[in-house]
A and B are shown apart, each in its own frame.
Chain A
Amino acid sequence: MSPILFWILTILMLSFGASVVINRNPVASALSLVASFLCLASLFVGLDAFFIGVIQVLVYAGAVMVLFLFIIMLLDLKAENRRHFNKGALAGGALVTVGFVSQFLRVLESFKAGSKPFPALGAARIEDVRSVGNALFTDFTLPFQVVGVLVLVATIGVIVLSRRELK
């Protein structure tokens, strides 16, 4: 991946991410988040990780965010547009951000392995779908099943909660 492309995509992704927070219109925020996801997916594709890039689009941009947008549109949040910035909260948020970034920079400085370039991959065509499948069904079978049960529990929980609402 060429560094120029990397920087363009990174800057686009971060600016869309910022616009999620800055925009007052909920629909605009949701769409900015979709655009940010798409930039992230292109970063993955640029690193030859096609599978994870496509899954990023399929799951987050294509399924989760469509549902988000659906709900936002049905709620018709006009009041959100008129709200002003809360100065105290803004200052608090900035403080937390600065704290985290400075901590992150300190850790990065001491992480020597991160400054070395990653060795080039041998094969011209990487079978990433096959490798992910193999890993899931051999080394990580138990965690995979546990996650499956967790999702099932969440689904049942949603149904139970929404049933109670109806009565």
Chain B
Amino acid sequence: MDFFSTLPLELMAASVAKTLFLVFLVVLPLVSYTVYAERRVSALIQDRLGPNRTGFPTSLLGFQKDLQLFLGGLGQPVADAMKFMLKEEFTPGHVNHFYFWLAPVLAMVPALSTLAVIPFGNFMFGHKMVVADVNVGILYVFAIASIGVYGIVIAGWASNSKYPFLGGIRASSQMISYELSLGLSAVPVLLIIGNLNLSDAIQYQVNNGWLLLPFTDGKLTAREMLLWIPLMISFVVFTISMFAETNRLPFDLPESETELVAGYHTEYSAMKFALFFLGEYAAMIAGSSLIVVLFLGGWHLPLLPINDIESSMTLSGSILGLVHITTFFAKVACILIFFIWVRWTLPRFRFDQLMKLGWLYLFEIALVNIFITAGILAATK
């Protein structure tokens, strides 16, 4: 029993508790309500109503109407989840079975794993609100995100039919291309912060103002105004690349329904399809969290006091900690709404246009931007 006595049990329990909180109480509900928001916002943009009346199914028990306890159909995600679980789990005969079943898992796991290094709050009950506070934070996110391609590629290949295969090929070439501009556009931020740790990135923004809104600490220096220009460029490139990485419109070529039926998940049904769906939205949430952490100050809200490791044990400190966590996810929700708004506003790109944009414009802009940032940093040192 020597092995178990050496384990840091308190630390492990805290990590497990944080992971469970993040995945089951925040991300999965956030995913289902993002899907709901997607449907309601698209309805708003197209001048429809959208799903607005799902309540308790009391009509199943012989009543005239369903009981409408949730306002505006907020019960819709629950109904959706029930539907996914109760549908027939069908595997077509022509697929490569093992890889066909493996692919949805490979699509889901990396998306959730990226969240491990995202600091989603300051302190609660004497613990830092990040599952793994590692010193390679952002590199870890890029590494795990690059693993996310496998789920889609394997799904397209194992389905053994042409539309999923084309979708898989498109997805992998698109994700490999845009990983470059995604990584390069984050470099200016890292140059300014001087560290790869994401908690330190937020701490820097608490002390010096958010990178995109440098006046949030109450003062605006000439250096901050000068640095704002490359940071804005890097924010735009990063956001566009994030759209391509998560296969969202205007870059949803891998699953463009007018040419490829549904792309790589054409042959999937029920819960296996739901896992792809979950993976896509979890990747969106991870990407939005990264944007919030790198450019929009993370959990920090100006003019609000900040708790520390001692005060987080008291009542007022815990309330502050909760406010920080809520602030973080409110910012993430704003970015998600932006993602949805873009999807229902812009038309789809052509595949050659997508590749041209990635390799000829965004990659070069991101590269030049690094030199501009480094020049400004060297000149104002």
Contact = CB atoms under 8 A, between A and B. Distances in A.
Please indicate whether A and B come from the same complex rather than being unrelated chains: yes
A70 B146 contact: no
Interface string A64-85: 0011011001100000000000
Nearest to A128: B135
Interface residues of B, number: 28
Interface in B5-58: 6
A57 B150 CA distance: 13
Nearest to B106: A31
B134 interface: yes
Contacts of A4: 3
B140 interface: yes
B231 to A, nearest CB: 21
Interface residues of A, number: 25
Interface string B146-182: 1101100110110000000100110011001001000
A34 B110 CA distance: 14
B99 interface: yes
Contact of B153 (A51, A55, A57, A66): A66
A40 to B, nearest CB: 13
Contacts of A31: 150, 154
Contacts of A58: 139, 142-143, 146
A20 to B, nearest CB: 16
A50 B6 contact: no
A134 to B, nearest CB: 13
A73 B146 CA distance: 18
B3 A51 contact: no
Contacts of A50: 134-136, 140
B100 to A, nearest CB: 12
A70 B147 contact: no
- B134, B143, B157, B169: residue with the most chain A Cβ atoms closer than 10 Å: B143
B297 to A, nearest CB: 23
Nearest to A5: B3
A2 to B, nearest CB: 6
A9 interface: no
A129 interface: yes
B193 interface: no
26 contacts: A2-B3, A4-B3, A27-B99, A27-B154, A31-B150, A31-B154, A50-B134, A50-B136, A54-B139, A54-B143, A57-B147, A61-B147, A62-B143, A62-B145, A62-B146, A63-B179, A66-B146, A66-B153, A66-B172, A67-B176, A69-B153, A69-B172, A70-B169, A70-B173, A73-B157, A73-B168
The list of the 9 closest CB pairs from A to B, nearest first, reads: A62-B146, A58-B143, A57-B143, A50-B136, A54-B139, A54-B136, A54-B143, A73-B157, A54-B140
